[in-house]
Amino acid sequence: MLATTTATAIAIRDLTVAYHDRAVLWDVDLDIPAGVLMAIVGPNGAGKTTLIKAILGLVPVVAGEVRIEGRPLAEVRRRVAYVPQRGSVDWDFPTSVLDVVMMGRYGALGWIRRPGRRERDAALAALEQVGMRDFAGRQISQLSGGQQQRVFLARALVQDAAIYLMDEPFQGVDATTERTIVGLLRELRSAGKTVVVVHHDLQTVPEYFDWVTLLNVRMIASGPVDAVFTPELLRRTYGGHIAFLGQDDGGLAAVAGGGA
């Protein structure tokens, strides 16, 4: 056993995930310290989403294990919240914004029990936080992409978890939503939460995050952005398909090419 102190939110050991006989993740070792705001970065097909799903127990694991706060997921499920990709559900489903957000409380409610006033209040408060309070009664098909994303964030907020896992929350959202999400991520971090985000846009990594994991089927590197988000390591992550646009205010601006 490796030491997993309380300071480690998620500890991943020798994690291998394969679909049929093709490995998607090879022997990944990763410690995510509690309280970081971390981006997972890597080219398409690098296994970023799979990594998050493996942490959540959504995909079968060939080998290795994931521990959350030192314990198996089943024991601490309520401490983990998940924001899936926006496109993973049918937005024409007949339900309201408030109803979707309340789904975040279903786990705490357990079997059979229905959400009541307390869940409703929590959901409204979460909607307020993402600036969607006025939309509570809306049918979800009437939302823009950015608004859909904020509804999903609110649903994760009402889970009142310690660890938040988000799959591409910035994908195809408007500027307002992007600002809201960034503000929210920072709020979560100052509240001591751990936030892990699958992220596509390399340029915003140093601005939005303090921790980064570079992934390409195997772990390339993980650590503070200053130490890990370097041209050398990025080149190793993306192979040749990357162009550097130069440095500005100490940060690194990079554009991933080749379909990344």
Partner 1 sequence: MALPELFHDLLFDYTLRTVALGAAILGCVSGTLGSYAVLRRQSLLGDAISHAALPGIALAFLLTGSKAPLVLVLGAAAAGWLGTLLVMGVVRTTRVKFDSALGIILSVFFGVGLVLLTFIQKRPDATQAGLDRFLFGQAATLLAHDVVTMAALGGLALLTMLLFWKELKLLSFDPEFGSTLGFPIRALDVLLTTLLVVAIVVGLQTVGVVLMSALVVAPAAAARQWTNRLGVMVALAGSFGALAGVSGAVLSSSAARLPTGPLIVLCASALVLLSLCLAPNRGIVWNALRQRRNRRRLQVDGEAIP
Partner 2 sequence: MSAPQFEIQLIAVVVAAACALPGTFLVLRRMALMSDAISHAILIGIVLAFFITEDLASPLLIVGATLTGVVTVSLVELLHRTGRVREDAAIGLVFPLLFSVAVILIARYADNVHLDTDAVLLGELAFAPFDRVILAGWDLGPRALFIMGAILALNAAVIGLLYKELKLVTFDAGLAAALGFTPAAVHYLLMALVSITAVGAFDAVGSILVVALMIAPPATAYLLTDRLPLMLGLGVLVGAAAAIGGYWLAHWLDASIAGSMATVAGLLFGAACLLAPGRGLIAVARRRAAQRWEFAQTMLAIHLFHHRDAPDAAEESRVAHLETQLRWERRFAEQVVRRAERRGLIRRDGQTLTLTDRGAQLAQEALGG
> Which position among 7, 63, 89, 227 is part of the footprint of partner 1 (CB under 8 A)?
89
Partner that binds at residue 230, options partner 1, partner 2, none, CB closer than 5 to 8 Å by kind: none
* Minimum distance of partner 1 from residue 141's CB (angstroms): 8
Q: Per CB under 8 A, does 1 bind partner 2?
A: yes
| Minimum separation from the CB atom of position 137 to partner 2 (A) | 22
Site for partner 1, residues 141 to 200, rule: CB under 8 A? 141, 155
Distance CA(105)–CA(119), nearest Å, equals 7
Picked from partner 2, partner 1, none, the partner binding residue 250 (CB below 5 to 8 A depending on kind) is none
For residues 114 and 117, which CB has a smaller minimum distance to partner 1 in the complex?
114
103 contacts 89 by C-beta, under 8 angstroms: no
CA 257 vs. chain centroid, Å, equals 23
Which positions from 34 through 53 interact with partner 2, judged by CB under 8 A?
Answer: none
Provide, rounded to whole angstroms, the least separation between the CB of residue 55 and partner 2: 16
Closer residue to partner 1, CB minimum distance, 26 or 91: 91
Cα distance between residue 214 and residue 235, in whole Å: 10
Output the six-digit token pair for 36.
């970081």
Which listed range, 16-24, 53-61, 209-217, 239-247, lies at the site for partner 1 (CB under 8 A)? 53-61
Buried b (16+ CB within 10 A) or exposed e, 164-199: bbbbbbbeebeeebbebbbebbeebbeeebbbbbbb
**2 to 21, contacts with partner 2 by CB under 8 A?**
2, 13-14, 16, 18, 20-21
Contact with partner 2 (CB under 8 A) among 43, 60, 64, 162: 64
- Residue 133 Cβ, how far from partner 2 at the closest point, in Å? 30
> With binding defined as CB under 8 A, does residue 27 bind partner 2?
yes
Residues of this chain that interact with partner 1 (CB under 8 A) are 56-58, 74, 77, 80, 82, 84, 88-90, 93-96, 99-100, 103, 106-107, 109, 111-115, 139, 141, 155
